[in-house]
Amino acid sequence: MGDKKGDPEGRRLARHRAQLLAEAARVARVLQVLAERAGFDGAGIAAVERALAREEQNTLVRGHGRLEPRTRYKHRSGQPLFEDREINLLFADESGMPGRQPHQPEDCFAVGAVAMDTGQEATYKVAADRVKSEYFGTTDITFHEPEMREHTGRYEFGGDVVRQAEFDAAVNRLVGESDFVVFGVGIRKRAFEEEFVQQGLDPYLPFDVYALAIHLLLERYVDYLNGQPRPTTGRLTFESQGPKEDAIHQREYVELLVRGTQWVPPSAFRGLLEPGVRFTRKSGSDAMELADMVSRDLYEWTRDGCAAQPLRWGVLTRKIYRRDDMAMGKFGVKVFPDSDIRQLIEEHRAVADGAE
């Protein structure tokens, strides 16, 4: 029975119970493996695990509403490389620091991403070069946040506020007229640590903030790929952070393809994504510039409680991926945790749904 004041329908209690059931099922699975290694018949333990999983699903329905089955993903073959598939490019960049910094008040971390095909990428490069030539006399520069919105460095234009405003408008037109789809994740680090890490309630979530952001981002991206009219494979590119950092991100990505998540089976990730991540550096006119803009706006939106309007948010909102009721991974932007600000996010989803 729910708390009439804060949880009238018992949804929060149902989600909490589902988390406990998931943990119990995981323990049962470990027990079964250990028992079978010892030569003990684990059939009875396996039956308990299946019963726990069924009850978890029933409880999740009460907590979230109707859930789509994990089998909804289209599996055309066991080897995507053997198919004549379209390639969709996903460029991802970050804003903020994934770890808690003891001497910094920063409490959020964001990963922003843009999806496009190869033709759209080439069109963007031509258009971006045109803007750079007009305002800087060269194409050998890379747009970068937050310098652009703060008008620092080359974007100061010698203090000419009129020129600054013209440049801002030109970049907004460039973003608005470019063809891409927006994805992103904003992590509220303190709330995540207090609600999930310290209590250890959700066995499906990684405790590393960066890994969590990638999990949530790619759940949404594969939902998008799964709905494409032609068989499509996603190719993910990160901005390079350094040899060690890139290796860690590659490991986290591969782990996702091997193990999957609570809502998406590993076979769906393997069937819809390339088996490895690519890395690049920002150089010239590159679609990574757009990911940089998305990540900065998403960072500011998350930082300000999802109530602010960052510089390009009005333009980017119209490009966010959305499908059907936009729940449970069918909306391209996720803020986590969101229990205390969910109403603001739902209002934003409604605006995005009516933006076109």
Residues 316 and 305: their CA atoms lie apart, in Å, by 18
Mean pLDDT of 74-95: 81
Residue 104 predicted with pLDDT over 50: yes
Kindly report the CA angle at 148 between 143 and 153, in degrees rounded to 5? 95
pTM: 0.77
Q: What fold characterizes domain 78-353?
A: Nucleotidyltransferase; domain 5 (3.30.420)
- Tell me whether strands 333-336 and 181-188 are parallel, antiparallel or unpaired: parallel
**Residue listed under structure tokens 């949804």:** 11
Nearest one of 27, 20, 19, 66 to 45, comparing CA atoms: 27
Average pLDDT, the chain: 84
Burial class from Cβ neighbours inside 10 Å (0-12, 13-18, 19+) for residue 130 reads middle
- Proportion of the chain in helix, strand, coil states, percent, rounded to 5: 50, 15, 35
The enclosing H or E element of 335 equals strand 333-336
Residue 219 predicted with pLDDT over 90: yes
The pLDDT, as a whole number, for residue 1 is: 43
Amino acid type, 40: F
Q: Provide the β-strand partners of residue 86.
A: 232
Residue 111 predicted with pLDDT over 90: yes
Mean pLDDT of 38-49: 85
Q: Is the peptide bond before 146 cis (omega within 30 degrees of 0)?
A: yes
Residue 237 — φ and ψ, nearest 5°? -125, 125
Amino acid type, 263: W
Residue 338 — φ and ψ, nearest 5°? -135, 15
The pLDDT, as a whole number, for residue 68 is: 59
In the chain, where are the structural domains located?
Answer: 11-67, 78-353
Residues 315 and 15: their CA atoms lie apart, in Å, by 34
The full length of the chain comes to 356
3-state DSSP call for residue 286? coil
pLDDT per residue as tens digits for the range 251-262: 999 999 998 887
> Which residue did the predictor score with more confidence, 225 or 18?
225
Residues 127 and 118: their CA atoms lie apart, in Å, by 15
Residues whose CB is less than 8 angstroms from the CB of residue 102 and which lie 6 or more positions away in sequence, other chains included: none
Sheet containing 86-95: order of strands: 278-280, 232-239, 86-95, 108-117, 181-188, 333-336
Buried b (16+ CB within 10 A) or exposed e, 312-322: beebbbebbbb
Residue 50 predicted with pLDDT over 90: no
The pLDDT, as a whole number, for residue 293 is: 96
Share of the chain above pLDDT 90, in %: 45
